[in-house]
Amino acid sequence: MNKLSIRLSLAFALVTWLVIAVIALAMGEAMDRSFRSYVSQRSSEGAGANMAAMLEQYYVDHQGWDGVQAVIAPGTGSDSQQKEGRGRRGQNFVLVDPTGMVIAATDVTRIGTQVDVSAQELMLPIQADGQEIAKLILDTPGIQALGDAEEQFLSNLTTTLLATAVGAGLIAALVGGILAWQFGRPIRQLTAAVRQMAGGDRGEDVAVQGTEEVLELAQAFNHLSRSLVHQETLRQHMAANVAHELRTPVTVLRSRLEAILDDMYPLDKEQIIVAHDQTLHLARLVEDLRQLTLAEAGQIPLERQQIEPGELARRTLDSFMPLALDAEISLKTELAADLPVIKVDVDRIRQVLGNVLANALRHTPTGGTIELRVLRQAKQVRFEISNTGSSLTPEQLEHLFEPFWRADESRNRNGGGSGLGLAIARQLVQLHGGRMWAEQLPDHLSFVFDLPI
């Protein structure tokens, strides 16, 4: 009873039956009134025609209207004490002269009164020798009782109307049930797909046909399914990458310690430095993972303060100057003159710039150039960090901000870095209400991010 198809079927049936019932009742009442009115009018017209013929003959036979009251209403003649009566067949007749004076009437109290003949609906002329000598007004008493044959005809008509209404209601209920089942079919398909997804079967799109709302629901489900598959793939890759990144320094540290225990290496400061470097690498990796997790969950608190973007860029660039000199890489900066003050977490934005600059230093060849540009874009401040020597395909650009992703597929970490810097940088920019992306130009690769003013 709680199924959508059953509810829709009942709703269709209820509405259909209500509409049919109202129409049937209205039509039945209208037909009954119209038929009774028609029969009464035809009866009145027939009785009036007969009475008019009788009155014309009476006038010819009596050469006047003396005693005509007995013809109009038998039993109400001039000598009778009866003041009111009913004409033949229950009709009320009023006989008036050409001036509208009542000569005779079923209701004797009207004799001698004046009648406005222009306001009468049913009126027949009384003629003699080709001239109109009077008028017969048919004052109908209303809808009269029907005869047996007429009552039987009206009963048969009502029965036919009722049977037609019931048949139409059954057909409408059947059609409504079919339509309700068709409407519920896409929902059942999506329900089955959700159950398959819950069972671990993901990734296949649901082909659903239906209304615009159902199609939007199916598209949203397919998008959700693909997103879950993508997120699951990323999770698996990240788990594998984390295991690999942890295994490398742990393996080096373990082998070094085992070699010392086996007296293959002396226990001196040099060996301790090697072990210490590996522990520092592990600490950086764990800290980067922690920051990425917090940033993705939006749980990194931001201590915003106002600062000039140019000053922020210069501070960060100055801290990388010694590394650039050692690598023989040129650092350049270009600051717009109309930069507004921004309100950001200074340490976090310096971390963003630092992660991008560190990545650029690792991928810029000796003699190359790294340029930091800061400019204003509408209601935002834009930071652009570009470096020469890097070339990525559009497909590689799509994966550039994924954790542990690298273009050369190499696992070598001699160049430093945990593979999480760009992912952390993008999340930090998004926490500030901005966005970050990369652009490949003919001679350099640019990392761009906007921060709201």
CA distances from 11 to 7, 183, 332 (A): 6, 13, 73
Q: pLDDT digit of tens for each residue in the chain (453 aa)?
A: 567 667 777 777 788 888 888 888 888 888 877 877 776 666 666 777 888 888 888 988 888 898 888 888 876 554 443 344 344 445 788 998 988 899 998 888 888 899 887 777 778 898 888 888 899 888 765 555 666 787 788 788 888 888 888 888 888 888 877 877 777 777 777 778 778 777 777 656 777 676 777 788 888 888 888 888 877 777 777 677 677 667 777 888 888 888 888 888 888 888 888 888 888 878 888 888 888 888 888 888 899 999 999 999 999 999 999 999 999 999 999 999 889 999 999 999 999 999 999 999 988 999 999 999 999 988 899 999 999 987 888 888 888 888 877 766 554 444 555 678 899 999 999 999 999 999 998 888 999 999 998
Instruction: Decide: pTM greater than 0.75.
Output: no
Which domains are seen in the chain, by residue range? Answer: 1-200 (no CATH), 212-293 (1.10.287.130), 301-452 (3.30.565.10)
Neighbours of 113 (CB within 10 A): 13
Tokens linked to 238: 């990240």
